[in-house]
Structure 1
């Protein structure tokens, strides 16, 4: 749990988060993150596994996380169709931008690295957060 929001981990996901990433998530994750929507669960599909160099998942050992579901709904399927999922995803990405040490903030809403637009493929179906 983070601030009352249940965190679920995908099969085989090593659920060990580095302190700076956990601190950032504690600042970001909240049941009331988005006006008009309640965040109850997040699904972490990757922490420091299932990726190849130079991914931050591999470099940082717990400094990156992928979130692929919001309230049990896959971001890739529901971001454009479900206004609640969109509000929550957008709010999570906006709030992460304010975090100290935020490095990568890639998702369907925008893709930023160190607060600036960054061209990177993918991330329409999940949020990727990493810290320095």
Structure 2
């Protein structure tokens, strides 16, 4: 499997939970490509925008009907992304490969969503 990565990411500026999320999403996607899709090519692109991070993973594998998703791997990805206030979209059709798109919003101060929520409660 040939994997290409393109990134504009300054990882030093990312909260640790975002780094972990990106790592786990890519790990699960590559695992699925190797085990299920029979892809020969995988492209991973990470874009950093002022208000969000965008991760796109695209393969040329056999694809699947997303209405009949089985297994917990992609559901776990969706839950992990949702915990950070992000979105996860999976586009796939049998015989046409798969595109996984993740968008994670940035806090104004670049800390995680969970940290901001904790800090927003008045003390005392």
The TM-score bracket by the shorter chain reads 0.3 to 0.5
Structure (1 or 2) with the greater helix fraction: 2
Larger Rg over CA atoms: 2
TM-score, L = length of structure 2: 0.45
